[in-house]
Amino acid sequence: MADQCGPDRGTSKHSQPRERAHFRSLSYARPGQSDGRSSTPATATTPISYNDVTMSIHLLPDDVVEKIAAGEVIERPASVARELIENSLDAGASHIRVRIVNGGLSEIQVSDDGCGIPYHEVSLAFQRHATSKLAAFEDLSNLRTLGFRGEALASIAAVADVTLATRFQDEPVGSTARYRFGESESLRAEAVAAGTTVTVRDLFANLPARRKFLRKPSTEGQQVATVVARYAIAHPEIAFSMHVDGRLALQTLGSDLLDALRRTHGPETADVMLPFEDADSGLRIFGFAGPPSLHRSSSRQVDIFVNGRWVQDRVLARAIAEAYRGLLPTGRFPVIVLLAEIPPDRVDVNVHPAKAEVRFADPDKVFQVAYRAVHTVISDPALVPAIAGLEAGAFVPWRLGGAEASADSAQFPQHALYSQAGPDAAAAAGRDGPPVALAAGALPPLRVVGQVQQTYIVAEGPDGLYLVDQHAAHERVLFERFLAERQAGQSQSQALLAPITVGLGASRCLSLQRHQARLRELGFEAEPFGNDVALLRAVPAILADRPASLERAFIEVLDAVAAADTDRWLEHSLVRLVCHSAVRAGETLDYAQMREILRALEATKSPRTCPHGRPTMLYLSSNMVAREFRRR
């Protein structure tokens, strides 16, 4: 990309040809306003009191106005990150690097290789309502940039200590500027690499009341990470990286959406998601939708983007909810990334101070296209784990076993299982209750009938037949057992009689050194032995029965630990670990082994899916069998 700001700005959705003269020339949207303010006495002579009915009307002092206005735009570190990233995207960057220290409270830095700001425009960029993206009000209806209000830099500079280093692509020398809590401290011409780096320190240090409202650094940092992840998804062609307290937490390569998703959602989740796309009258809806078996307790992984901007949009959220209706357990939410591209004159982005909402000119059309796009892919019969030849939906993964009970259920007393699972499950077991979420230990007692294809356990429940994938079921059991033992502080490691050597290669050996502590948490005791071999002394207890898998499992878990992001490393690596620890497809199981797997599965919290999100079982209800045999 020769000209980052120019017409050939890659595949970005905002890559409309940009007239440099238009984009780069900053202009005031509301000239003269600040003059008006400052010509008024900054401090009213009348003492201010809320009860004082005689208080005269007065203009607020500039710094108060600034702080109030800044408060609308900048609420927390994540809003700073969002605004700075949007600026980098608007500048045509192909690499965006985000660093935070102490959850962003001490420092947030966003660095890009975009077009930069010319020296003579730097101070203008920090003024409120100064933008290079909008000249007249009418331009709003044809907006192709993420920013347009010219408020972000001014707002951030009003509430933090901000340093900007930038070099405009056509200028030989760059500039550095510093603003501290609304005051300009310095502006210098300096040698700076092309692009822009904004460093924001001590956010809200001048507004203790605001700072008090912030959550603990780890929570604020998590929100920044979410913002970065969302932009990485919305702009997969751009390489993002994020460092948290000096450690790399997220990195995308700037390739395609699936790759970005694998890095933000983890490969286990991304790989089971299904691509969808639909278009109609200039509107394009596309993305990746999780299969119905993948669901979450909150809507945090329902991500909606309109023209490259993450938004909370009711129309699209409703379309998604409708598309999944009846396919998800009640109270559960899908994992989905939906991107809408819509001509800028058909969407109003100027309806929310933080630009988090939009309004469509034709919401019904948007709803229809989005609903169709998502529904078509997730209701594909191949995805519904019902037994072939029977109607889709036969599998009711969120129902309690007894909910669709038939006469023969009397043979299977609904014994202690439900009460063990707690009051929610007990209530839900009532016939009239609504279907409940998986959270309740919702599997009825199952009786082993036999094994087929050395892969599936055939079982009978009070209300029908179950075909259980032995590997997937065992994975679920081991996954939850591991987590439960970990929580109980039990040792999960088993020493090997004699250490074994595992050939790793140099780079994995380095990775082993770096991640030794996490591997130990998983139960692996290993140390580098020379430059490219590891000595494995102990392994996770759940793996101990599978001596043939030790080496492979160790390497894969090591890779998973190294690749996983900070928060979900355990989940990711555990998925790999249990995959190696569980019984395989193709393994003959005796009756006792099968019964043990089913008993243990009954006791898990989410018996219907394996940790990868795939179903553990198919279900054929007694009613359905009777119907198919024309018995009723």
Q: Which amino acid is at 272?
A: V
CB of 172: closest distance to Mg ion in angstroms?
A: 26
Q: How many CB atoms lie within 10 A of CB 613?
A: 20
CB of 109: closest distance to ligand ADP in angstroms?
A: 12
What tokens does 611 get? 């940790």
Judged by DSSP in three states, 37 sits in helix
Half-sphere exposure of 506 (CA within 13 A, CB side): 0
State the binding partner of 109 from ligand ADP, Mg ion, none, CB within 5 to 8 A by kind.
none
- Residue nearer to ligand ADP on the CB measure, 196 or 455: 196
- Under the criterion CB under 6 A, does residue 307 sit at the interface with ligand ADP? no
CB of 62: closest distance to ligand ADP in angstroms?
A: 17
Restricted to residues 119-138, the positions that interact with ligand ADP (CB under 6 A) are: 125, 130-133
End-to-end CA distance of the chain: 68
Kind of pairing, strands 239-244 and 95-101? parallel
Judged by DSSP in three states, 517 sits in helix
Instruction: Please report, for residues 321, 324, 325, 326, 501, the alpha-carbon distance to residue 333 in angstroms, rounded to integers and kept in the order given.
Output: 8, 9, 10, 12, 45
Total interface residues for ligand ADP by CB under 6 A: 25
Burial label for 580, CB within 10 Å (0-12, 13-18, 19+), is: buried
Query: Residue number with the shortest CB distance to ligand ADP?
Result: 147
Instruction: Please report, for residues 141, 395, 396, 447, 463, the alpha-carbon distance to residue 401 in angstroms, rounded to integers and kept in the order given.
Output: 54, 11, 9, 13, 7
Q: Contacting ligand ADP (CB under 6 A), which of 150, 221, 254, 461?
A: 150
- Residue nearer to ligand ADP on the CB measure, 153 or 260: 153
- Residue nearer to ligand ADP on the CB measure, 133 or 144: 133
Binding track over 14-53 against ligand ADP, x by CB under 6 A: ------------x---------------------------
- Under the criterion CB under 6 A, does residue 114 sit at the interface with ligand ADP? yes
- 3-state helix, strand, coil split of the chain in percent (to 5) is 40, 20, 40
Q: Contacting ligand ADP (CB under 6 A), which of 14, 67, 144, 149?
A: 149
CB 580 within 8 A of CB 549: yes
Instruction: Please report, for residues 185, 342, 418, the alpha-carbon distance to residue 286 in angstroms, rounded to integers and kept in the order given.
Output: 46, 12, 41
- Residue nearer to ligand ADP on the CB measure, 310 or 482: 310
CB 623 within 8 A of CB 500: no
CB 467 within 8 A of CB 618: yes
Segment contacting ligand ADP by CB under 6 A, of 81-89, 365-373, 434-442, 596-604: 81-89
CB 327 within 8 A of CB 290: no
- Under the criterion CB under 5 A, does residue 147 sit at the interface with Mg ion? yes
- Under the criterion CB under 6 A, does residue 148 sit at the interface with ligand ADP? yes
State the binding partner of 196 from Mg ion, ligand ADP, none, CB within 5 to 8 A by kind.
ligand ADP
Query: Measured between alpha carbons, how far is 82 from 90 in angstroms, rounded to an integer?
Result: 12
State the binding partner of 332 from ligand ADP, Mg ion, none, CB within 5 to 8 A by kind.
none
- Under the criterion CB under 6 A, does residue 231 sit at the interface with ligand ADP? no
- Under the criterion CB under 6 A, does residue 112 sit at the interface with ligand ADP? yes
- Residue nearer to ligand ADP on the CB measure, 78 or 152: 152
Q: Contacting ligand ADP (CB under 6 A), which of 80, 115, 340, 384?
A: 115
CB of 129: closest distance to Mg ion in angstroms?
A: 12
List residues near Mg ion by CB under 5 A.
Answer: 87, 147, 152
List residues near ligand ADP by CB under 6 A.
Answer: 26, 83, 87-88, 90-91, 112, 114-117, 125, 130-133, 147-154, 196
